[in-house]
Structures are given as structure tokens and as C-alpha cells.
Structure 1
Amino acid sequence: MLLRKLLTARSHHLLRRWASTDPLCFQNEKLQAYLESLRQEYYALRVNAAGNSSLYARLSRLDPVVNSLEKHRALQRNITPEQDLAAEKDEDMRALMLEENNVYAELLRKQEEAMLQELLALADHEDYPSLIFEVNAGAGGQEAMLFAQELYDMYTSYFEHMGWEYEQYAHETTDIGGLRYANLLVNDPEAYNWLRYEAGVHRVQRVPATEKSGRMHTSTASITVIPRPADVQVHIAERDLKIETKRASGAGGQHVNTTDSAVRIVHLPTGLAVESQSERSQLKNRELALKRLQAKLMQQQLESSEATKQATRKAQQGNLNRNEKIRTYNFVQDRVTDHRVQQGGTQHNLSGFLEGGQPLSDLIERLHLEQRKLKLVELIEEWQPPQKASDKS
């Protein structure tokens, strides 16, 4: 009798599927309506997607979500309704039915977890074959430039850890091993989805080697992630360029003072200006400056076409002030903290983290999960069911 009561109580707890106000709970009516709309879209695409690559890509992304939904509904059909349980007179049979319901309820819970992961991936996946990755020193002078170099090393190690191909096409360093800025092209269709939330101001807190009083300094560097769509092309006409040469400034040897190797290019239609002096050859600096200009023009195109979105370079970089940050690297406390991750956002062993391997990968995965949940909640809350023909008339 005690076992039967326990089964009945657990069954009622798991199977009483009332409506929920949590937008990511599968008993939420709006989430159920949204899932049904995805299912209908999926079966419509199966009829119409042939020969259309964009529709077929959407169909492929919907496939795991709809398959999970169909499995979920099949499991629900195996659960004995409460009214049938109440009508069963044989107590042993009722206990058996309750036990089966508990088994199916646990399978439902696991299926809902799997479906949520599929939904999160669907809500926050954008296809770009490559991206432009920028590291720029911010506030803090030479210390900021040293930190920018450490971030550059960390992320290039992470690219290698992920197996992504990348190409450096602008890179300006200082005479003490710091980095003013660096631009890289990362070629991998998954790179943008993993790196998009790395964009922003990164803050470092530590005691510089040159600080005699032991006072901790705070400096910043910024990361910018610019997606490169396959269908966006930037054409630069020679007549639209104003090209100037000058002698490179800073350390670098005798050639700095004897040749006009530095190149500055102004794009006349937009007023955008770039320069490069990292190479000894004027021709090489001209080539690098043109690549930087092309990246800026592409970014401008993307921002104008996505003006309503927040993922612009200005939003990513902020003003590079010390009080603006997405992540803090504290050397005194040997920790790194991502300020957007509620649980598990702090890791210790900073030197290991800066190697850019699994520790960074783990933090990026946790950040992704939180950001994807926020985006899915926003998507569901903004979603409106399509109007029926009778409603329009």
C-alpha cells in the first residue's frame, strides 16, 4: 500500500502537465504553439525545398527539432490518462499502470532536455563561411598592448585547438613585445557561432613588472568579430582611393628613418582611413592596408543591413574604458571571470586559461548556453502565430 501511494504521488507530480509561465518549460502554451509551427514549417519544406539551397538548409536545421518533437509526442501517447487510472478497479493493475507512467515520464524529461538543446542550436545559429577577428589595445598604454598580445596568443592557440584555419593580414607590435592591433581571417563555418560572444572589452588587473610600489593596474583590450557572408562582396575602385606614404614611426631599425615605407589609405566615398607600417616594404604595407580597408567596408555593409541588431562593432568595442568589460583577467587573484555567466563564470589558474585550449573552450561553452537561452526566450516571446485566412477577412 505504501509503495502504491508513493507511485501515485510521484506520478501526479510528474504527469500533471499544467500550463507554465516559464517560456522554456515544455508545458508553456506559447512554446507548444511555437513548436507546432516549426513542425508545420518542416513538413511544408519537405514538399517545397527541392532545388532551393536556402530552403534545404532550413529544412536540415529543423530536422532534429521536429524529430525530437515527434518522439516526445509518441511518449506522451503511451502515458495512461488520470481519468483512466481512476476508473481502474484492480489495485495491482493500477499500480502497474502508475509505474509505467513514471517510466514514461522520466523518458519524457530526458527527451525534453534533448529537444531544448536542439531548439537552442536552432535559435542561435548563423551561417558564415569565415570571419574577421580583430584584437585592439585599449586603455592602459604599454600594459594594454602587452595584454593585447596575450589575448592574441590565447585566441590563435584556441583556433588551433578547434582545428580552424586562420590567416593574419595586419599586425602591429611594439618594441617591448606588445600589440597595437591585429586582424585575422578565420576560415571555418562554425567559427562565428563560437566566437561571436567573445567580442567586447576584456579587462586585465595586475601589477606590471615595471611597477616598483606594487600597485595593481587596470588595462583593457577589445575583441571584434565581423562575420563574412558568402554573398557579400566589396569592390574597391582605384579612383576612390587616396594613398599616402610616410616614414614609419617607432622602433624597428635604420629603415624606419630612411624609407617612406608606411602607407595610409583614405576611401574617399566613405571617408574611412587605414594605415599600415608593420612591414619594411611599402608594397607589402599597401597590400595590408587595402585588406584592412576591405574589412572595414565589409563591416560597414553588414552594419547597415543589420542596423536593428546590436552586434555592431561599436557595441562590441564600447569606448574601451576600464569600467566597461565582458571579462576580467585578474593576475593577483589568479582568476578569470566572465561577467555574463551566472554560474561557473569564474575559473582559476589564469596562466593555463591564457594558453587558449580546453579551459577557454569550457568557458565559451557555458557562455553559449546562457546566451542561447536568452535568445530563445526572446524569440518565443516575440513570436506570433500566423493569422488564419478567416481572421484576416
Structure 2
Amino acid sequence: MLDRLQYVKQRFDEVSDLIIQPDIIADQKRYVQLNKEYKDLKALVDKREEYITLDANIQEAQEILADGSDAEMVEMAKMQMEEAKERIPELEEEIKFMLIPKDPEDAKNVMVEIRAGTGGDEASIFAGDLFRMYTKYCEARGWRTSVVDVSEGTSGGFKEVIFEVTGEDVYGTLKFEAGVHRVQRVPQTETQGRVHTSAATVMVLPEAEEFDVQIDMNDVRVDFFCSSGPGGQSVNTTKSAVRLTHIPTGLVAQCQDQKSQHKNKDKAFIVLRSRLYEKELAIKQAEDAVKRTSQVSSGDRSAKIRTYNYSQGRVTDHRIGLDVFDMDGVMNGKIQKFIDELQLVNNTEKLKEHDVF
């Protein structure tokens, strides 16, 4: 264990020296990459220090027990050794998972797109419920959310809503939320009390930086139009909304959330870059899927991943067979149990692929 972690410590020292070099600071892409590596290595180095301390505690306790001259010290040494031996196996498991090679996209911010699917007005209402669920979850995590574009439903909720999430390791946390979410409940519009099934699709796109995706402006058509929906006279009567069309791929991105045309254009470009980046990422994920079959794949947006059954108060994640009987809590953003279990399964699969020890 310590031999493997010694290489980590050596690399940590190298990166610590590199990130203060002027030529590295001047290269923004390289600087960002090294800062992320520094942060990941720092967490491992801290675990290494804890391991060394525990190992030293065991050796010290063994010496005291071997001496045996002080009864009080012997009793304390027994407790110290017991605590250390109990903690070491847990620590080794933590270190194993931390040594699994990370996806470089996991640290990125994301664009989340929620679209109403089958179910008419009820699907739009459900899309609105999912939007509320995710924004409450992000708020609890200390992440910032910002609406980019909305298309409101006729009876509430959204036909489509796009929002940005910024924070720490956002994509690595939210990526498994991508897919079809299904709801089974009596709609507000139902007069006979019958249970209906509706659906909404969630897409989670890693937010691409300018150096991730290069866009030739000659390939982009820019259209300006008046914003729709709430926002006041200045929003609805001036051409502040922006729509970008990437001609080679046909991908479209628009933003009408800001009063400023310039700000809307900047946000629309972030969406467009993210969609282009996700398109490339989807190809890579498909290639990876040929090599291994993952039950928690984040690439298939057409797969039904979760059902929200209101009459039974049950939320079921179909990929891992997990049932949670706390509908109110889940719809108020308490989805961490699903995320933890999905990440555990994914990390366990990766652990089998990579010979960590």
C-alpha cells in the first residue's frame, strides 16, 4: 500500500512545483488540468498521511505491550491498536476507489435539459417537478443553478427547460441522472381519479470550455428574436433572445433568460459548445460500451432509468433495483441515496477493470 502511495506523493510534489511556474500559469488549459490533478492528489496524500499515522500507532502500541511494565499504558495501547486495526481496512478500501482513474469530464459543470415526453400536460407538469427536484438538490450541495432557456407547459411545468449547474464535481455526480424518468400518478387534470403514466427525458451535458471545442463562426448562423414568457416589457418587445444554429451538425442552442442580447449570446454559445462536446463524448462512450457493459451507463438517453409511483409512495431506480419509499423527500431534492448507490456500482465495475493493487 505505502509503496504505491509513494508514487502518488512523488507526483504530488511534482505538480506542486509545476503549478507555480510562470509558463504553466500562462497556458490556461494546462494550468486548469494541473490544478485539478493537484486537488485529486492532495486528497490521496492526506489519506497516505493517515495510513502512516495508523501504522505508527500500531508499532508504538506493540512496543508498549511488549514492555508491559505500566498497566495503564498497556490498556491505552490495546485501545490504540484496536482502533487502528479497525480503521485500516476501511481506509484501504477508500484509497482503492480513489486510485481508480477518473473520467476527466467528471469535474466539469453541466447543462441539464429536461423535456416533457409522453403524457401531454401531465408530462410538462412532471418535467417541472423534476426541475424543482434538481434545483433543490443542487441548492443543498451548495451548487449554483442558472436557467438558460424555458418553454412553459400550457397547464404548468415545462415542455422544455435548460439550466446550468456550477460547482464541484457536478458532472461526475449528476451524469447518471440522464435518461427517461417515468411518473405514475393521478394527474391534476384527471377527473375520474385514474392513474396515468407520463414521462420526461433528462439530459446532462458536461459544460465544454473554449479549449475543449473549437467553433468556426463561419459555421454558425445567429438569429435574434423577442423573448417569450414573463420578464417585463423590455424583455418581450426587444430582440434580446438569441438562437444559434451549427450548420455542419444541425445542432441548435438558444437563450432568452437574460435581458441583455450579449449575455444571451454568451449563454447560448455555452450550450452549443456543450452539445457539440456531448456529441463527441457519446461516440467515445459507445466505443467504451463495446469493451464493457455497464448497468449504470450515462450514455443512453432513451433508457428508462427511474419510476416515481405516487400511489405507492415509491421511487424505483431500474438500473440497480433500488426502491426508496420517500416520495416527498425525493421530490424535494433528497436523491443522494440513488447517486451514492449508482456511483458505488460504477466504481466497483471500474475496480474490476483496473488492477489498482
TM-score, length basis structure 1: 0.64
- What is the aligned partner in structure 1 of residue 313 from structure 2? 334
Q: 1:285 & 1:125 partners in 2: Cα distance?
A: 30
Matched-pair contact (CA < 8 Å) for 2:183–2:309: yes
Q: 1:318 aligns with which of 289, 295, 301?
A: 301
Q: CA deviation at 1:63?
A: 0.9
Cα gap change, 1:378 to 1:279, in 2 (>3 Å): closer
* C-alpha distance in 1 between matches for 2:12 and 2:219: 47
Task: Decide whether aligned partners of structure 1 residues 142 and 317 sit closer, same or farther in structure 2, where only a CA change above 3 A counts.
Answer: farther
Distance 2:355 2:212 in 1: 34
| Partners of 1:170 and 1:292 within 8 A in 2 | no
The count of corresponding residues between Structure 1 and Structure 2 is 322
Shift of 1:370: 2.9
1:390 is matched with none
Counterpart mapping for 1:255-274 below 5 A: 265-274=244-253
Q: Which deviates further from its counterpart, 328-337 or 290-299?
A: 290-299
SS of equivalent to 2:159: strand
Matches within 5 A, 1:31-46: 35-36=1-2, 38-46=4-12
Query: Does the residue aligned with 1:176 lie in a helix, a strand or coil?
Result: coil
Percent identity reads 30
Q: 1:184 aligns with which of 142, 163, 177?
A: 163
| C-alpha contact (below 8 Å) 2:171/2:206 kept by paired residues | yes
Q: In the alignment, what sits opposite 2:137?
A: 158
Kindly indicate whether the alpha-carbon contact (under 8 Å) linking 1:159 and 1:166 is maintained by their aligned counterparts in 2.
yes
Deviates more, 1:39-48 or 1:97-106: 97-106
Residue 186 of structure 2 aligns with an amino acid whose one-letter code is: V
**Matching residue of 1:66:** 48
Q: Aligned residue for 1:29?
A: none
Which of 111, 133, 148 in structure 1 is aligned with 2:88? 111
User: Which residue number corresponds to residue 17 of structure 1?
Assistant: none
Q: CA deviation at 1:284?
A: 9.2
Map 1:93-242 onto structure 2 (within 5 A): 104-121=81-98, 123=100, 128-228=107-207, 230=209, 232-242=211-221
Residue 331 of structure 2: aligned partner:
354
Equivalent of 1:297 in 273, 276, 279 = 276
Which runs of 5 or more residues in structure 2 are unaligned? Answer: 20-33, 67-72, 230-236
1:306 deviation in Å?
5.8
SS at 1:373 equivalent? helix
Contact 2:208 2:270 in 1 (8 A): no
Query: Which residues of structure 1 form unaligned runs of 5+?
Result: 1-34, 86-95, 251-257, 387-393
Contact 1:130 1:186 in 2 (8 A): yes
C-alpha separation in 2, matches of 1:72 and 1:59: 20
CA distance in 2, matches of 1:138, 1:179: 11
Change (3 A) 1:285 1:65: closer
RMSD: 4.6
* Farther off after superposition, 36-45 or 156-165: 36-45
Does the CA contact (< 8 Å) of 1:341 and 1:367 recur in 2?
A: no
Structure 1 residue 201: Cα displacement: 2.1
Which residue identity does 2:301 align to in structure 1?
Answer: G
Task: Say whether the 8 Å CA contact 1:199–1:223 is kept in structure 2.
Answer: yes
Q: CA deviation at 1:62?
A: 1.8
CA distance in 1, matches of 2:207, 2:319: 26
Question: What TM-score do the two structures reach when normalised by structure 2?
Answer: 0.70
How many Å separate the matches in 2 of 1:46 and 1:208?
A: 55
Task: Verify: 1:370 aligned to 2:338, yes or no.
Answer: no
Paired AA for residue 295 in structure 1: S
Distance apart, 1:150 and its partner CA: 0.8
CA distance in 1, matches of 2:9, 2:225: 62
| Structure 2 residue identity aligned to 1:161 | A
Conserved in 2, the CA contact under 8 Å of 1:265 and 1:273?
A: yes
What SS does the aligned partner of 1:175 have? coil
Q: Which amino acid aligns with 1:373?
A: L
1:381 matched to which residue of 2?
Answer: 352
Q: Return the alpha-carbon distance in structure 2 between the equivalents of residues 46 and 291 of structure 1.
A: 32
Structure with max Cα Rg: 1
